[in-house]
Every structure is written in structure tokens, then in C-alpha cells.
Structure 1
Amino acid sequence: MRSQPGRRVAVLPGGTGPRAVAALLAALPAALDGTGPAVRPTDPALRPPSPVTAPPGVAALVTTSGSTSGTGRLVALDGAGLLASAHATHARLAGPGQWVTCLPVHHVAGLQVLVRSVVAGTRPVVLDTTAGFRAAELAAAVRRLDPGRPGYLSLVPTQLARVMADDDAVAALRGLAAVLVGGARTAAPLLDEARAAGLTVVTTYGMTETGGGCVYDGVPLDGVEVEVDAESRVWLGGPVLARGYLDDEAADRETFQVRDGRRRLRTNDRGELTGGRLTVLGRLDDVVLTGGLNVSAGAVEQALGDLPGLGEAVVVGVPDEHWGAVVTVVATAAPPLEELREHVAARLGRHHAPRALVRVPALPLRGPGKVDRLGAAALARDLLAGADPGTERLP
């Protein structure tokens, strides 16, 4: 989709700081109703972007994280689509309420917290995580919410894991109407632990191109349409769809397509629909060709999801002269490689079992909670080549 003259764009600072949140909150109402310029919140760590104009009706320009491609794209989000998403969220949860904002507002999840606040007529409690996320500070922020309104919070899985390690934070979050968790796959044991502790956790699936989460706990929001084709590819439709990409016409044509007379988003995710509930199985482009056979990294990650002792983890392929590539687990904590192999083999078969393990202090990220798969693969390759003490590898 080409940038079209018609609407000015206000470039605003992103991040999680109170000034960034206040500036975007002040500009959003006019951006959403079309009486003012569209907004473009930007990562404060990057240099200011080149000026662009927005097509009529577009309220916000947001850059994707590019967690698998390595390159983000500039997404044009309609005001009507952002509002549809906010109203559908309120309808699915406990109605309009007050939010804690702790995700960067230059990413769609953080932006949507502010859109929902505008729709609800409330002002969010701001938790600045520029210097890092601390569960104790989150607990204090949650306790500043108006007890007379439903309280909400949006987190990424890494943040939820830190909450669960802090008893006071868990106690504070029990009073919330919902804790949305998205941006990356959330391990089943972590979800079970949080729900058993009394937290109303709602998993979300979506992306910048859908204005954020559009499927909650596997069920599409009102107006959202989900299809899974013969190749198990997930297609999304409905009023939440973005207008398109402003900076990549080829990707725009490939991603936003018309199917059966209706505009759809062609995702790179594999999934299955059972009784109207979507289960995301991984990505279509996460296949590792090893020993002449294809292994889905997403399937291996899911198989590892209930393994005790495994921290945050991602599965990647690392080039190998003999195998072509080896299935490699990159994790913040893990039991021995042989235990990983037995666990996966029992669920998927021996060929899927990882042949290498790389332990790291933290997974490389691109955007809030999104693992940088390219970065993780490069890190694993370098550490394995250097025989780092935190690595294990079969011949």
C-alpha cells in the first residue's frame, strides 16, 4: 500500500515513560476520530523516522518487531479498526475499566492499552519499565487502580514469570478483572501456575496487522474471522485488520489478500480450529531441515512446554556439515540435553529430538516479549562453535 497524501502524521516518542504515555494519550482522541493528525509513536532508542503522510482514515502508524524476518514493516492502522478492537475487548472482558500500562507504546500492545483507556474514559496507571521490569513496582502500580472499576493489565510471558516469583505481586494481581498475556507463546506450566494462584489470565493471539490481540483464549473477538486452510495456515479477517504496509508494496500484496470476496490477512502461523477454538501450532517458516527431514521448531517448543526445569526457551536450526542443520534448544535454564531429547522423542519421535543445547542468561528479544529467532540462531551458532561451557552437542 503506497503512502497517500491526505493526513498529517505526528511523530511522538515511544517507550513506557510517563511523558510518552501522556503525549500519546493527548493525541489519540483526535487521531481516532479523524479531526487531528495520525500518530506515529517511535522507539526512543532509534533516530527519528523520515516524514510520511497517512491515507485518510488511518489513525496510527506502528512498526512491526520483525522477530523472524529481521526487518520491521510500517503498518497503517485505521481508527475504526483500533476502536473495533477496543470495544470487542471490553465486550469479552468485564467491560470498560482502568489499565496499568507497562509495555512500550510504540508497539501495538502498548498502544492498544491507551486506545482502550480513551474508549473507557479512564486514565491508565503508568509503570515506567525503561530501567527494567520489577514485579514489586508492578504490584504498587496495580494498587493505584480505582477499586470501583474493572482493573486490567497487559503483559508478555517473561513479565508474568517474574510476577509469579513475587508473592506480593501475585496477591496484587488477584484483584484484577483480567491479565492479558501475549506477544509470544506462554508455556502451559506458567499459565497453570498463574491460574491456580487466582490470577484471571487471558492469553491473546494477534499481531500489529490486526491491531493487537484478536483471539482471546483461542476464541476470536466479536467480528473477527479465523480460517485455517489445507496447509494449516491461519487466515484472519474482520474490522480489526490494518489498512496495510506503507513501506513494502510486495509484502502488502502477499500478506493482505482477498479470499472468497473478503479481505484477509495471510499469517505465517500454523494452527487448527476445533469447535471454533484456535490452537496456534507454530510458524510455517520455522522448519529445520535436518538429516533430509523437516522438523517444526514450533512443535518441538510445544513438546518441551511441560518439561520441569526448563526456563524461557526457543528452538532454532544451526548449520551443520553432516546434518545440514541441527535442532538446537536455546534456553535460560535447562536440564541436561539427554533429558530434553528423551522428553521430545516420547512425544514427537526420535527424529525431532534436539541434538544441541545452548544455555544463555537471557533470550535475545526484538519488541516486547518477542524472541529474536534470527538473533537466537546466530548466538547459538557462535557459542556452539566456540564450545562455550553452557553448551551441549551430540556428534
Structure 2
Amino acid sequence: MTSLREIDGADAAAVRDALPAALDGSSPLALGFEPSAEDVVPAGTAVVIATSGSSGIPKRVVLSAAALRASAEATVPRLGSGQWMLALPAAYIAGVQVLARSLLAGYEPVLLAGRFTVNSFVDATERMRDDVHRFTSFVPAQLATLLDAAESRPEVRDALASYRAILVGGQALPEQQRMRAAAAGARIVRTYGSSETAGGCVYDGIPLDGVRLVEVDGEIRIGGLMLADGYLGDAERSEQVFVTAPDGARWYRTGDAGTIGDDGRLSITGRIDNVIVSGGINVSLDRVERIVRGVPGLEQAVVVGMPDERWGEASVIFLAAGVGDVEEMFEQARALVSAEIGPHARPAQLEVSPELPTLASGKPDREALRRMARD
């Protein structure tokens, strides 16, 4: 067993400098939390990443050096090799993998100066090498910010188009946003994965080499060398989430509902537990949100559940302050949801906030939004 070394995940340069020893399995890192003397990990561990995700449940995911390497190396046959620019928090798995991929390719990763802004992205892109492929990784909100700026700033459009691939994960990418990105010349790769799978392991619906997918009772499970060892200090949860099949294969239970096509393509339909009961009928909030985001102006909207006197539970749309006729957008959303799912699934309210709460990873803080809806 090995002790952990704490690294300030907000200091991207510190994580970058410590990562080579972590990838060798000789000096495991604690990212996002302060380890105690009792926090020891198996030999060969690279990082332990603290994450609560959108559920608000704290977890500390134990990833071996072999898992990180397997994930980073599986990206190369799909995308190619080159230099990466870090635009995400270095304490989160997507940020760690950006650094790992660049280092394993033998190129110095380019770090964003300060917080993510349009200008910091352009400046970082200008510091990228011209003689190798360029790559980076965003969450949808970051991409949306750049696409808005690209409409009036040619340098932003040129910077986006200079990347061989821009990975976008963390949450579903609205189709309208994908189309806008394509029109701007940005080559987008939609990724699916989590800290438990050492980051994105399914690109545009197709698993990377060495990644196995299976659907069990409507839930997607993932297998492969990139799986985490489990959760630090939580054997019970580890046994519930990481299961071993009768043939000895190890699987990660994602908690996501989905299907796998005959061509092996994965389609996620939502979280198994992200369901409300409205008028006695189960309603997937993920499905409602996808429909709502099809309305122009609501591409970044977030849908959560709330108590409702009439229906028992209902959904509410949260939207950051922007432009457009809010009432008209709300009525369009209700009509689309009613047509596709039924009147019981129509959102009951649309709330506009100056700024939606987010996690450090850039994902919407759904637990904070649920509290806002209840209040």
C-alpha cells in the first residue's frame, strides 16, 4: 500500500509537473481533497480524484497508472497524436487526461493562463505548435461561449478551426450547438465516460479500442483496462458499482440508461435515477431536457424536478439570462414536450437566473438547482 501526495488541483502547472511520476505508479496524487494518514492506496495507483458529480454524492475515485495509460493511449488510434491545450480544471479527470495524452505523446501541454475566457483561449492557441496536430477538450458551456464570440471575431473562428479535434464531454451536447460548431469549422468529437472510466472512452458513440459495452436491464455497463480500482474508503459502494461477471470480467455500472446498436454505437437516453413521477407516470428528465434544448434560445437550459401540488412532481426549466422572448420559448418547449412525451411531462415553470450554478468541472450543479426549485 502507498501513501498519497496532495497536489493543489487549481495549480495546473503543479499537476503537470507531478504527473510523470504518477503515471509511473511511483508517486500517487490526491486531487481535490486533503488525504489523511489512513488514506493509502494499492501500489501502482496514479491518482485519486475527488468528485461529487451532479448528484452531490462525494466520491474519491482510485485510478491506477495502467488505467490512465490505457485510456490515454487508446485515444491515439482514433484521433492521432499531437499537442494538447488544457482548458479544463486539472483536478478533474478530463483535465488530467489532457495532460496525460500530451505528455505520453512527448509534447509539452499548453496551459490556459488564468480562468477560461475567449481571450485566454485565443492566447493559448497562439502558443500551440504549428508542426503537429492540435487537440483540446471542453464542456458544452465553454464551446458555446467561443461559438458566440466567433460570430463577430475572426480570430476566435480561426483558433477553433486550427484544432484537429475538440473533445466535448461532461454532459450532452445539444444538436444545434454541434451544427454551429461545424459551420464555424470546429471539428467536434462528442465523448462519453467518467472518472470511473479514466475519462471519455466512447467517442461519437463508438467505444475506443479495448473498451467493452453491454446493456443490462436498460443500464449501460463498461468494461476494459481503463476502469478505476474503486472508491477510496468505501468498499460497499465499490462493490455495488464495480461488479464481476461469472466469466470473471469486471464491469462498471454507469447508472445511465441507453442502448447499443447492431453496429456497436452507444446511445444514452438519460440517468436511470433522473426520473420524476408526474400524474402517476414516470418521466425522464433527461428526455425532457433534450427536447427543451431543441428550442432556439434554450440550448443551455437545465431541467430539474420539483414538488407539484397537482401532479405530485413536475419539472422546471432553468435558464441563464440571455436574449429572446422567454414566454414564447417556454410555450414552445411545453408544446414540444407534450407532443413527444405527453401533457403530464410538460415543464411547469421557466426560471431565469443571472447565472446558473456550476460545478468546478463546468457541469451544471443540478443539486443546487433542485434546492432552488424546492425553495
TM-score interval, smaller chain: over 0.9
- Percent of aligned positions with the same letter in both sequences? 40
Shift of 1:239: 0.5
- C-alpha contact 2:293 2:299 (8 A) present in aligned 1: no
Shift of 1:305: 2.6
The one of 12, 17, 26 equivalent to 1:21 is 12
Asked if 1:361 corresponds to 2:354, the answer is yes
Instruction: Give 1:393's aligned residue.
Output: none
CA distance change for structure 1 residues 129 and 284 in 2, over 3 Å: closer, same or farther?
farther
Instruction: Give 1:299's aligned residue.
Output: 287
Instruction: Give 2:24's aligned residue.
Output: 33
Instruction: Give 1:288's aligned residue.
Output: 276
Q: Aligned pairs, how many?
A: 363
- C-alpha contact 1:155 1:179 (8 A) present in aligned 2: yes
- Cα distance in 1 for residues equivalent to 2:67 and 2:296: 41
Asked if 1:381 corresponds to 2:367, the answer is no
- C-alpha contact 1:228 1:273 (8 A) present in aligned 2: yes
- Cα distance in 2 for residues equivalent to 1:186 and 1:170: 19
Q: State the secondary structure of the residue aligned to 1:67.
A: helix
Q: State the secondary structure of the residue aligned to 1:300.
A: helix
- C-alpha contact 2:7 2:15 (8 A) present in aligned 1: yes
Stretches of structure 1 lacking an aligned partner (at least 5 in a row) = 1-5, 383-395
Shift of 1:311: 4.2
Stretches of structure 2 lacking an aligned partner (at least 5 in a row) = none
- Cα distance in 2 for residues equivalent to 1:320 and 1:351: 12
Report the residue type matching 1:102 in the other structure: A
Q: State the secondary structure of the residue aligned to 1:251.
A: helix
CA distance change for structure 1 residues 236 and 376 in 2, over 3 Å: closer, same or farther?
same
- Cα distance in 2 for residues equivalent to 1:100 and 1:60: 20
Which digits, 9 at most, give the CA deviation of each residue in 1:328-361, with x for residues without a partner?
A: 1112257323222112112222222112211122
- Cα distance in 2 for residues equivalent to 1:174 and 1:207: 27
The one of 336, 343, 351 equivalent to 2:336 is 343
Shift of 1:376: 0.7
- C-alpha contact 1:303 1:348 (8 A) present in aligned 2: no
- C-alpha contact 1:157 1:186 (8 A) present in aligned 2: yes
Report the residue type matching 1:123 in the other structure: E
- Cα distance in 1 for residues equivalent to 2:50 and 2:31: 9
- C-alpha contact 1:204 1:216 (8 A) present in aligned 2: yes
- Cα distance in 1 for residues equivalent to 2:315 and 2:110: 43
- Cα distance in 2 for residues equivalent to 1:140 and 1:323: 51
- C-alpha contact 1:135 1:169 (8 A) present in aligned 2: yes
Report the residue type matching 1:80 in the other structure: A
- Cα distance in 1 for residues equivalent to 2:243 and 2:15: 31
Q: State the secondary structure of the residue aligned to 1:165.
A: helix
Instruction: Give 1:249's aligned residue.
Output: 235
**Within 5 A, what are the aligned runs for 1:77-96?**
77-94=63-80, 96=81
**Within 5 A, what are the aligned runs for 1:196-215?**
196-215=183-202
- C-alpha contact 1:117 1:124 (8 A) present in aligned 2: yes
- C-alpha contact 2:93 2:199 (8 A) present in aligned 1: yes
- Cα distance in 1 for residues equivalent to 2:44 and 2:20: 13
CA distance change for structure 1 residues 260 and 276 in 2, over 3 Å: closer, same or farther?
farther
- C-alpha contact 1:330 1:358 (8 A) present in aligned 2: yes
- Cα distance in 2 for residues equivalent to 1:29 and 1:312: 37
Report the residue type matching 1:301 in the other structure: E
Cα RMSD (Å) of the superposition?
Answer: 1.5
- C-alpha contact 1:14 1:41 (8 A) present in aligned 2: yes
Asked if 1:329 corresponds to 2:317, the answer is yes
Instruction: Give 1:117's aligned residue.
Output: 102
Shift of 1:105: 0.9
Report the residue type matching 1:319 in the other structure: P
Moved more, 107-116 or 309-318: 309-318
Shift of 1:320: 2.1
Shift of 1:49: 3.9
Instruction: Give 1:235's aligned residue.
Output: 221
- Cα distance in 2 for residues equivalent to 1:367 and 1:23: 18
Which digits, 9 at most, give the CA deviation of each residue in 1:170-219, with x for residues without a partner?
A: 22110111001111111110011101221110011000000000000111
Which digits, 9 at most, give the CA deviation of each residue in 1:283-322, with x for residues without a partner?
A: 0011011111111001101112321121421211111233
- Cα distance in 1 for residues equivalent to 2:235 and 2:114: 35
Asked if 1:9 corresponds to 2:4, the answer is yes
- Normalised to the residue count of structure 1, the TM-score between the two structures is 0.88
- Normalised to the residue count of structure 2, the TM-score between the two structures is 0.93
- Cα distance in 1 for residues equivalent to 2:354 and 2:36: 36
CA distance change for structure 1 residues 287 and 278 in 2, over 3 Å: closer, same or farther?
same
- Cα distance in 2 for residues equivalent to 1:49 and 1:379: 32
- Cα distance in 2 for residues equivalent to 1:362 and 1:98: 33
- Cα distance in 2 for residues equivalent to 1:367 and 1:248: 23
Which digits, 9 at most, give the CA deviation of each residue in 1:228-267, with x for residues without a partner?
A: 12x3211001011001101222211110001242100011
- Cα distance in 2 for residues equivalent to 1:306 and 1:180: 21
Shift of 1:372: 1.8
Instruction: Give 1:389's aligned residue.
Output: none
Instruction: Give 1:278's aligned residue.
Output: 266
The one of 143, 146, 165 equivalent to 1:178 is 165
